[in-house]
Amino acid sequence: MCGIVGYIGDKQAAPILLQGLAKLEYRGYDSAGITVREGEKPAEVVKTIGKLHNLIEKTDEGRALVGTCGIGHTRWATHGAPSKTNAHPHVSGNCTNSGSGAVESEVVGVHNGIIENYQELKAKMERHGYKFYSETDTEVLIKLVDYYFKKYKMGPIDALAKTIVRVRGSYALVVMFADYPDRIFVARKDSPMIIGVNDGESFIASDVPAILSHTRNVYYIGNLEMAEISAGNVDFYNLDGDRIEKEETHIEWDAKAAEKGGYEHFMMKEIHEQPQVVLDTLHKYIKEEGAAKTIDLSEVGLTDEDITKFSNVYIVACGSAWHVGMEAQYVLEELGDFQVRVELASEFRYRKNRLPADSLVIIISQSGETADSLAALRMAKDKGITTLAIVNVVGSSIAREADYCMYTLGGPEISVATTKAYSCQLVCMFMLALKFAVVRGCMEDYGNYLDELLSIPEKMNKVLEDKERIQWFASKYSNARDIFFIGRGIDYAICLEGSLKMKEISYIHSEAYAAGEMKHGTISLIEDGTLVIGTLTQSDLYEKTLSNMMECKSRGAYLMGITSYGKYDVEDSVNFPVYVPKVDEHFIGSLAIIPLQLLGYYLSVSRGLDVDKPRNLAKSVTVE
């Protein structure tokens, strides 16, 4: 939530900052702001309400601001409504102009995260004569930095150190001091921030895509650490103010991966990237030697000996990543003979449960920064439980803190609604299920299962060839009020994801129900013309779910049914059948989800909505 960028070098900062913010707008788009300074001159602050294009226009694409050092921010509001006054950057001085214009203050800065004790700190600062113009926790933070800077007169790093021991919460904080014109300073705890350095220039960002076109060499700043950044150089410090060494990481992602590449929306591009990124992810872990194929987790660091020690698996995640867990549990239980529990990270982190010592906690996260998932990971680690992360963003907090990390090769995912990262997570879970089953001696047909897994990307392409049919269907339902998704077992898990895709981008109310539960209450909502989408991919449950769909149909529902080619003939029962290619039923979710992603997408487009940046949402939820 919230995107931060910073630049210091020999070029004009504003256009670079705006380009970086454009790549981070998926993190928040309530308002945006920028500050740039040239040498000793006061920094200029410009803020606008709404999406980034307003700021781009107001600054004449950055040309209106002169200076080679600056920072920018795109906001997802937490404290204080979206407004120009609450937009970042914030300044330490007592200003009356909503913090915009030339900054006469010592400190100007931006922040991503939440300061939990901001009210107590605000009262303290007011006692010291500070006046506040915004409702944000960030303004408190900036004023606190100013207070310690002036009180101790020991320099920016010490002022930051004093500040961060005083605040509770999470922050990626970026500040400029009037007295240090050729420097930017940062501090971080539990909110993402990377620093890239390249031949005389330095870049700061919340996420990799913002700086990919400038450099792929980045540093990750740790929790409760600070950095002093000048043109082409960065020095890191711990809380004691001592210098610390960091290793540079090279990012493999291609800059083009973060562009729309001719598609109207990132979401459509990312839906189409699924066959390739799923193939890449499978090939990362499935090794072929002659005709023999095996799953090799040596890069993850998980040995067969480790695997035999686990008797329970907890899968913990949020949103779509939780849906991956919901689907994978059936596969892990059936193939690997494990006890599996799937938990929402926001619930799991506060449960007072006793986790058995021989458990494995699997955290699934695209961003690797989701606050609840990170807290759940830390809670499990504190209890001495082994943790394995499935993460897309290299070097993210969850990836670094888990005992083991299995990376997905999804590349940058920009659309708020996840598609390709979800699909990569799912095949990682399938690979884990197979590997665990083999190691535990409960798998006979390993080779066949691997062949089935490897056939998924090609079959995904086939599903995508049929997208016009879904587009046509979506055009009929653009005024739908409610949509119900029903299925059993793996099909239920597919429904959960299909329903979330629908509601988050089309704003149509939708619910996913275990088909057998409809009669326990929800069926009362079915009226003439209500769309009910059933997934019917599991042989042993097909007839049961179809009966539940027919019960809805006899109460007026219009039925869409998803199944696989040649397996069942649903034409006579449902109004709109959708077929996907056949694959082993454990893995069919990888194919059956695609028509549902497309349906959500086309409905959103037909309703004229902002597909990639749905209201009230942000890509990476780094606050509770």
Q: Cβ of residue 76: shortest distance to ligand M6R, in angstroms?
A: 12
388-417 binders of ligand M6R (CB under 6 A):
416-417
Q: How many residues bind ligand M6R (CB under 6 A)?
A: 16
* Cross-strand bridge partners of residue 7: 70, 203
Is the peptide bond between 192 and the residue preceding it cis, with omega within 30 degrees of 0? no
What Rg do the C-alpha atoms of the chain give, in angstroms? 26
Q: Which of 22, 379, 437, 621 binds ligand M6R (CB under 6 A)?
A: 621
Residue nearest to ligand M6R (CB): 319
Residue pair 74/2 in contact by the 8 Å Cβ criterion: yes
**Cα four-point dihedral sign 72, 78, 83, 85:** negative
C-alpha 152: how far from its chain's center? Answer: 39
170 binds ligand M6R (CB under 6 A): no
416-445 binders of ligand M6R (CB under 6 A):
416-418
Q: Cβ of residue 369: shortest distance to ligand M6R, in angstroms?
A: 7
Residue pair 338/593 in contact by the 8 Å Cβ criterion: no
Structure-token match 């049919």, residue found: 469
Smaller CB distance to ligand M6R: residue 31 or 373? 373
571-600 binders of ligand M6R (CB under 6 A):
none
d(CA 596, CA 241): 52
188-227 binders of ligand M6R (CB under 6 A):
none
Q: Which of 598, 537, 523 is nearest to 570 (CA)?
A: 537
What character string, x for contact with ligand M6R (CB under 6 A) and - otherwise, covers 354-373?
-----------xxx--x--x
Residue pair 376/363 in contact by the 8 Å Cβ criterion: yes
What character string, x for contact with ligand M6R (CB under 6 A) and - otherwise, covers 297-326?
---------------------xxxx-----
Smaller CB distance to ligand M6R: residue 194 or 286? 194
335-354 binders of ligand M6R (CB under 6 A):
none
Smaller CB distance to ligand M6R: residue 195 or 345? 345
Q: Cβ of residue 215: shortest distance to ligand M6R, in angstroms?
A: 24
Tally Cβ neighbours within 10 Å of residue 311.
Answer: 14
Which pairs with CB-CB distance under 8 Å and at least 24 residues apart come from 502-506?
502/596, 502/599, 502/600, 502/603, 504/416, 504/417, 504/600, 504/614, 504/617, 505/267, 505/416, 505/417, 505/600, 505/601, 505/603, 505/604, 505/609, 505/611, 505/614, 506/600, 506/603, 506/604, 506/607, 506/609
H or E element at residue 563: strand 558-564
Smaller CB distance to ligand M6R: residue 611 or 621? 621
Smaller CB distance to ligand M6R: residue 53 or 503? 503
Does the annotation mark 2 as catalytic? Answer: yes
Q: Cβ of residue 512: shortest distance to ligand M6R, in angstroms?
A: 13
C-alpha distances out from residue 289 to 292, 293, 620, Å: 5, 6, 39
Q: Cβ of residue 419: shortest distance to ligand M6R, in angstroms?
A: 8
Q: What is the three-class DSSP state of 369?
A: coil
Smaller CB distance to ligand M6R: residue 416 or 480? 416
d(CA 453, CA 284): 13
d(CA 58, CA 499): 39
Q: Cβ of residue 130: shortest distance to ligand M6R, in angstroms?
A: 36
Catalytic residue among 284, 435, 613, 619: 619
Q: Cβ of residue 388: shortest distance to ligand M6R, in angstroms?
A: 15
What φ, ψ does residue 33 adopt, rounded to 5°?
-155, 165
Q: Cβ of residue 505: shortest distance to ligand M6R, in angstroms?
A: 8
Residue pair 271/601 in contact by the 8 Å Cβ criterion: yes
d(CA 494, CA 485): 9
d(CA 14, CA 5): 11
Smaller CB distance to ligand M6R: residue 367 or 564? 367
Q: Cβ of residue 404: shortest distance to ligand M6R, in angstroms?
A: 17
Smaller CB distance to ligand M6R: residue 424 or 570? 424
What φ, ψ does residue 456 adopt, rounded to 5°?
-60, -50
Residue pair 466/593 in contact by the 8 Å Cβ criterion: no
Q: Identity (one letter) of the amino acid at 37?
A: R
Q: Which of 44, 491, 504, 612 binds ligand M6R (CB under 6 A)?
A: 504
Does the annotation mark 51 as catalytic? Answer: no
Torsion of CA 403, 404, 408, 409, to 10 degrees: 100
Q: Cβ of residue 374: shortest distance to ligand M6R, in angstroms?
A: 9
Smaller CB distance to ligand M6R: residue 417 or 523? 417
Smaller CB distance to ligand M6R: residue 244 or 344? 344
C-alpha distances out from residue 616 to 191, 572, 613, 621, Å: 19, 41, 9, 12
What character string, x for contact with ligand M6R (CB under 6 A) and - otherwise, covers 481-500?
-------------------x
Q: Which of 539, 538, 490, 544 is nearest to 515 (CA)?
A: 544
d(CA 514, CA 534): 10
Residue pair 474/599 in contact by the 8 Å Cβ criterion: yes
Q: Cβ of residue 367: shortest distance to ligand M6R, in angstroms?
A: 3
Residues that bind ligand M6R (CB under 6 A): 318-321, 365-367, 370, 373, 416-418, 500, 504, 620-621
Residues forming the active site: 2, 619
